[in-house]
Each structure stands twice: as structure tokens, then as C-alpha cells.
């Protein structure tokens, strides 16, 4: 293990074939450079790709790209550069690079560079990080910290207005005192419990449709992009429609309480 380490978690990235090739080119350049300088060992590249519930480890970029193109659903890609020492007691001679790209929510995508020279670590990390910074997802807003709060508040508002709407109709058929208040409390409690169950499911669905790392491939990403765009447009459209419709219908009902 090297004396210096820089690492970074990766979020909100869209990885294309071009971005993947750019990352590999930087690794290949470092591989050639380290092999020229290292007299006690050798440096090698390896690639791990998992897709369609199967994993493969290859050592040639062409093989990686072939798997990348033919896969139906890519789960993970790991790019690694290691230095193996000729000394039996020392596996790593210091330099190592790992780029872990995964769209599985239980994993932690990251970039890690370690080595014995601080300048090498900083320069290599900066070069790779610059490529990854250009891979920002167009739907990165879905991963914002405000989304869970927005979804939760939206659900509460909808539950409130729907409870009012249902109590308005139900109270017309009840003859005891304060039927509107009683039915509102009843519907609000029922719908609140239903929303408590639905909220985690909605957040889980958003994580699946909008993963931290999205592998974009020509000819195979159209359906997913359509789904992402439709959900994005539908989210804002639904919020506007529900709030405007409910406020229009329930304004007279709310005014009746004031009177």
C-alpha cells in the first residue's frame, strides 16, 4: 500500500463508451510509465464487468468494450491498475488505481488512487477526476437532498386534501354532530398510514430508475431515457395538477369552516 491516498465517492454520473475509453487511456498511460520506472516489479491493468447476472474479468480493453456493447443491463464496471513486486514478501509496491462504477444501490461507487509519491497521486487523481466530472447526469436533481423531503411533504399535502374531499362527500350522508370533522380525521389517519407504506416504495423506485451511476450506450438507452424524462416531466406536472385541482374544488369547503 502506498504512503499517499486520495479517494472520492462517485454520484450522479452517466458513463458513456467515450468516457470509459478516456479513463482507460489514462490508466494505460500510467501503466506504460510505471513499467518503465519500476525495476523490481511490473504494472498491469485489469477490468471487471458484471452484467446480466454474470461477471467477467478481462485484461484487454477491447474485451471490456465487447462485453460493454453486448450487455443488456450492466451492473458494475471496475477498472484497476496494480503494481506487483518481484519480492515474495511484498505484493504491492505502492502505486494502485481503482475506479469502481456500479448502478447497484447497495454498493459505493468510488475513485481511489494511492502511491508513494504525492505529486503522482495528485496528478493521476486530477486527470481521472476531470473525466468523471464531465459525466454529470442530466437528471442529477433527482439525487438532491431535497427530494425525499419534497416527496414526503407532497404526500402529506395530497393526503390532507384528499381527506378533506372524501370527508366532504361522506358528511353529506351522516346525521350526527360534526360529521365533517369526524370523517376528516378518519380518512386522514387511514391515508396517512397508507402513505407511510408507499413513501419508501416510491423512493426505492426513484433509486432504481435514477441510479448513481448510469451506463449510457448507443441504441440501448432510449427506453430508459424516455422513462427518466417522463417521470421528470410527470413529477412536476402531477404536483401542479393535484394542487390546482384540489385547491379549486376544496376552496368552498374550507370557506364553510371559516363561516
Q: Indicate the SS3 state at residue 106.
A: coil
pLDDT tens per residue, range 18-36: 999 999 999 999 998 888 8
The pLDDT score that the predictor gives to residue 88 is 47
Which residue intervals of 114-221 are DSSP H helices? 118-133, 146-171, 179-209
Please state, in angstroms and rounded to a whole number, the distance separating the CA atoms of residues 81 and 30. 9
Looking up cell 454474470 gives: 54
Q: Are strands 110-115 and 92-102 parallel, antiparallel or unpaired?
A: antiparallel
pLDDT tens per residue, range 85-129: 554 444 455 789 999 999 887 678 999 999 888 999 999 999 999
The pLDDT score that the predictor gives to residue 90 is 46
User: Who's near 65: CB < 8 A, 6+ residues apart?
Assistant: 17, 20, 21
The pLDDT score that the predictor gives to residue 183 is 84
Looking up cell 433527482 gives: 142
Whole-structure pTM value:
0.71
User: Who's near 199: CB < 8 A, 6+ residues apart?
Assistant: 151, 152, 155
The pLDDT score that the predictor gives to residue 87 is 47
User: Who's near 187: CB < 8 A, 6+ residues apart?
Assistant: 162, 163, 166, 167, 170
Q: Indicate the SS3 state at residue 153.
A: helix
The pLDDT score that the predictor gives to residue 237 is 65
Neighbours of 43 (CB within 10 A): 22
Residues of the chain short of pLDDT 70, as ranges, are: 1-2, 38-41, 85-93, 106, 139-141, 174, 176, 219-259
The pLDDT score that the predictor gives to residue 236 is 60
Residue environment code for 57-95, b if the CB has 16+ CB neighbours within 10 A, otherwise e:
ebeebeebbebbeebeebbbbbbbbbbeeeeeeeeebbb
Local structure of residue 71 (DSSP, 8 states): -
Amino acid at each position: 500500500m502506498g504512503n499517499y491516498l486520495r479517494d472520492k465517492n462517485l454520484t450522479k454520473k452517466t458513463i458513456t463508451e467515450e468516457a470509459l475509453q478516456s479513463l482507460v487511456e489514462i490508466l494505460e498511460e500510467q501503466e506504460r510509465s510505471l513499467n518503465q520506472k519500476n525495476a523490481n516489479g511490473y504494472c498491469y491493468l485489469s477490468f471487471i464487468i458484471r452484467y446480466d447476472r454474470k461477471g467477467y474479468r478481462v485484461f484487454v480493453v477491447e474485451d471490456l468494450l465487447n462485453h460493454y456493447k453486448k450487455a443488456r443491463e450492466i451492473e458494475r464496471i471496475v477498472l484497476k491498475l496494480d503494481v506487483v513486486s518481484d519480492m515474495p514478501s511484498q505484493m504491492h509496491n505502492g502505486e494502485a488505481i481503482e475506479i469502481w462504477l456500479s448502478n447497484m444501490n447497495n454498493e459505493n461507487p468510488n475513485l481511489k488512487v494511492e502511491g508513494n509519491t504525492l505529486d503522482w497521486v495528485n496528478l493521476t487523481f486530477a486527470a481521472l477526476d476531470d473525466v468523471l466530472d464531465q459525466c454529470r447526469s442530466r437528471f442529477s436533481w433527482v439525487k438532491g437532498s431535497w427530494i425525499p423531503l419534497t416527496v414526503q411533504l407532497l404526500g402529506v399535502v395530497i393526503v390532507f386534501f384528499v381527506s378533506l374531499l372524501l370527508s366532504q362527500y361522506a358528511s353529506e350522508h351522516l346525521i350526527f354532530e360534526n360529521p365533517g370533522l369526524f370523517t376528516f380525521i378518519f380518512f386522514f389517519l387511514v391515508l396517512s398510514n397508507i402513505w407511510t407504506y408507499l413513501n419508501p416504495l416510491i423512493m426505492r423506485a426513484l433509486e432504481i430508475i435514477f441510479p448513481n451511476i448510469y451506463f449510457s450506450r448507443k441504441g440501448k438507452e432510449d427506453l430508459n431515457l424516455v422513462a427518466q424524462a417522463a417521470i421528470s416531466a410527470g413529477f412536476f406536472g402531477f404536483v401542479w395538477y393535484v394542487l390546482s385541482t384540489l385547491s379549486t374544488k376544496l376552496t368552498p369547503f374550507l370557506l364553510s369552516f371559516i363561516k
